[in-house]
Structure formats: C-alpha cells, structure tokens
Amino acid sequence: MVKTYFSQHCGALRRALALTAALWVCACGARQSDSAALLNQEVPSPPCLSANDPEGTTAPGDRIAPGDLLSISFYLSPEFDQNIRVRPDGDVELKLVGELPAAGRTPAQFARDLDQAYGHELLAPQASVRIADSPNRRVYVEGQVAHPGAIALQPGMRVIQAVAEAGGLTEDAGAANSILIRHDACGYPHGSKFDLQSALNDSNGEEDIALMPADVVVVPRSGIANFNLLVKHFVKNNIPVDPYLPIPIP
C-alpha cells in the first residue's frame, strides 16, 4: 500500500516537472527563432534629466539603483554640485541636507526631490541629475576600436556613440560588417549584422540602433569573408555575459 502510494505520487511529480521543463524550452525556443526582431525592439527616448521635466517623459528603465554614480548639479549654485555613489540601502549623503532616498527614482524625479530638500537653503535650486556610471548598465564594444571593453550605457545611447566612447574605429575596421549581439529574455545571445558604415554616412541617424543593457558591438577587421563563423566565434567564445543566465530587463 505505501509503496503504491509513493509510486503514484512520484510519477505525478515527474510528469509535472517534465511539463514545466517543456513549457520553458518552448518559450525560450520561440524567443530564439527570430534574432532580427530583437534589434527592432522599441527603446525609450533619452529622458529629460532636469527638475523641470514634465511628468511621464522619463523611461521607466532609467531608474536609479544602488551602486550608481550620480552627477548632481545646481544651475545657479555650483558650489553644491557633487558626484556621489548610491549606497547599498538606496540612500545618498548630500551636502547640507543629509540623507535622501534615491534608489527607485528616475533622475528627473530625484532632481525634484533635491529641489524640495534644498528649497530651505537655496532660493531656486534648479537641480539636475545624471547617472554618470552604473555597474548594472553596461554595453561592450569589441574588435577594431581604439579601446575595446565595457562602456557605461547612457540613456538613449546608440551604436555610433558607443563606438565613439571606445575611441573610434581603427584603420583596419570593417565597419560595414559589424555585429550587434543582444540577449533575449531567456539570456541567450543572438548576433545580427549591422552596417556601421551606412549608419556613419546617414546624416539623419535612421540607420543607427539604440542599445540595451549587455549589448555587444563587434567591429571586425576589414576583409572578413565568413560572417556566420565570426558571429559564432564571438557568441560562444568572447561574449562578456554568461548566455545561460537571464539578463534583467529594465
């Protein structure tokens, strides 16, 4: 009797686990089926970082997080300007006014908080806030650029700006055969060709692509013939983010 009871329940548990695994594989497989769609995702426009920013214009993903380095400035009172790191508890220690909670706020919202906090000290604070560096928001530029490596992802940053931050292209760069590697919601990387040369020649900026956290831009050497082999090499060997761990979507 006991043996039969446990056999029945273990069998049900195995079937439930198998069904859960199958659903997860199907979900991830569906996301991997069209890597080009990832590059067409709508990315929010750059937020207004001033305290005068109207309600709702700042993208939800551009929120302050613990570890972020904030650049705080006051239009008419530069003596109160400071760069400060958000503590693990989400607060910052400021001149004159002391501690204020910052994590979870957008730069524009926190700028309004500063205006209110400094209203007793300054006639018109007019604070502005910028996320100068964020450990959780980085992109990577690799290959034929002057300074390959990690770049702090600024709100609204696009490929051309990231390449410029990496020191620009080298003389051997094959910009027309560049690669943009992006992770899907399951954490898997997908590489797609990106014609950086066309983007550089486009005065309207329509060919440029907005970047997302953990994106990788690869500029190969000119004369590369096997594009698929190049994508495979960077996805499997040089990707700076573990492709089997989910990437948080802001």
Instruction: Decide: 166 and 148 in contact? Cβ < 8 Å.
Output: yes
Model pTM score = 0.50
Per-residue pLDDT tens digits for 106-137: 999 999 999 999 988 888 899 999 988 887 78
Going by the DSSP 8-state scheme, the letter that residue 236 receives in this structure is I
CATH homologous superfamily of 37-135: wza like domain (3.30.1950.10)
Nearest residue to 158 via CA among 212, 105, 93: 212
Q: How far is CA 41 from the centre of its chain?
A: 13
Nearest residue to 140 via CA among 234, 32, 250, 45: 234
Instruction: Decide: 195 and 174 in contact? Cβ < 8 Å.
Output: no
One-letter amino acid for residue 69 of the chain: L
One-letter amino acid for residue 87 of the chain: R
Instruction: Please check the confidence at residue 4 and state whether its pLDDT lies above 80.
Output: no
Per-residue pLDDT tens digits for 137-157: 888 999 899 999 998 888 789
Q: Which CATH class is domain 137-238?
A: alpha beta
Q: Provide the sign of the torsion angle of the four alpha carbons 129, 108, 206, 184, taken in this order.
A: positive
Return the pLDDT at 153.
84
Return the pLDDT at 166.
95
Per-residue pLDDT tens digits for 161-197: 999 999 999 999 999 989 999 877 666 788 888 999 9
Report how far residue 221's alpha carbon sits from residue 176's, in angstroms, rounded to the nearest whole number. 10
Return the pLDDT at 91.
93
Instruction: Please check the confidence at residue 100 and state whether its pLDDT lies above 70.
Output: yes
Nearest residue to 160 via CA among 173, 170, 175, 177: 175
Report the greatest alpha carbon distance in the chain. Answer: 83
Question: Which residue matches tokens 């056999």?
Answer: 7
Instruction: Please check the confidence at residue 226 and state whether its pLDDT lies above 80.
Output: no
- Ranges of each domain in the chain: 37-135, 137-238
